[in-house]
Amino acid sequence: MTDAEYNAALDALEARIVADYIKQAQRLRGTITQGEITAMIQAGEIVKILRAFDGANYSQLLEDVRTAYIQGGADAVEELSRAAQAFVRDATGARVLGLDPLRQEAADWIAQNAAGIVRGYSAEQAGAVEAVITSGFSGGLGAPQIARNLLGVSNPAAGEPFGGVVGLTRQDAEWLGNARQQLASGDPEQMRAYLTRTLRDRRFDGIVQRAIEGGYPVADGDIDKITQRYAERLLTNRADIVATVEVNKAYNAGRQEFYNQILAEGVPAENIMKRWKTRGDNRVRDQHRAMNGQTVQGSQFFTAPDGSQMMNPGDMEHGAPMSQVARCRCRAVYTVVGE
């Protein structure tokens, strides 16, 4: 498999997850109304609100991740040279061994990873909801405004809601709340701080700039439009992070599992080597650029300059932080060497 084919395959998987994640957020927003959320807030039924926002169905995301895992193993087979294939034929010598997703270890990884995805993203959604409710109460907002901040507003052109914190993390929700406060402050310094936000919609900058020059806060209606568009961009950014993290983790775990399976078939561990490979462009982070070409035995860890250890790119199970895996596009290239 050429580098171009590898890159195209992963890009396609990531694009699918981005689209599915955003669609899931849109579906979830359509299952509950602002009136229902407002009534829950007024009644103090916070647990009920959290349950209402915990209705995400991650089935398509989980299927995409499973596909990436199996694809990783399949691509690892294709990468083997003809000489290396002699080491990994089955007992009859009839074919090169491929990834068996039903092998217990593979099935366990897929199941445990799926459970982790559901738990993790549900917890992040709950954190975002809690952040909006807490900041709303502390800021003296009424229940209807808090509900709008949670669910977003209606988009007449698309016929569906947009904005809000569905699909976002607590950090995203806090950024969103801080942006709203900056725009409503009437303080030129704070409003200028809003204009430094990378994911803001720059088409609204003129409104903010005029408020700064006039020394008055941005109007409430404009704040709603500006922050809900900011929320949409945060959602797209979140979906992109989810896609790169999950695809890279699953794809490289599938490649690792293929080599675990050929180890089980009797190929000596010392004959399996793996090399860290980046895409070699200007998006590669400095830590991974320094790791490019690092070669270890298949059962050993790669080590980043900061000391993080990863069995393969995307691996967070051994303590590597999110800063090592978010938007990572590296891969481990395996080889079978020796006689």
Helix or strand holding residue 118 (H, E): helix 104-138
pLDDT for 95:
60
pLDDT at 271: 82
- Supply the pLDDT for residue 157: 54
pLDDT recorded at residue 161: 52
- Exposure b/e, 170-182, CB count within 10 A at least 16 = b: bebbbbbbebbbb
Cβ atoms of 183 and 226 within 8 Å: the answer is yes
Q: What sign results for the dihedral spanned by CA atoms 53, 55, 60, 63?
A: positive
In this structure, are strands 309-310 and 160-162 parallel, antiparallel, or unpaired? unpaired
pLDDT at residue 96, rounded to an integer: 60
What pLDDT, in 10s, does the model give residues 27-62?
888 888 889 999 999 999 999 999 988 877 788 899
Spatial separation of the C-alpha atoms in residues 290 and 305, rounded to whole Å: 7
Domain ranges of the chain: 3-167+230-267, 269-339
d(CA 121, CA 124): 5
| 335 neighbors 273 (Cβ within 8 angstroms) | yes
Contact assessment for residue 248 and residue 325, using Cβ atoms and an 8 Å cutoff: yes
Q: Which residues of the chain have pLDDT under 70?
A: 1, 80-97, 154-162, 338-339
pLDDT of residue 154: 62
Task: Check if the beta carbon of residue 278 is closer than 8 Å to that of residue 313.
Answer: no
Cβ atoms 292, 276 nearer than 8 A: yes
The pTM assigned to this predicted structure is: 0.86
What's the rounded Cα separation, in Å, for the pair 160 and 164? Answer: 12
Q: Which of these, 221, 236, 226, lies nearest to 26 by C-alpha position?
A: 236
Residue 286 token pair: 């400095």
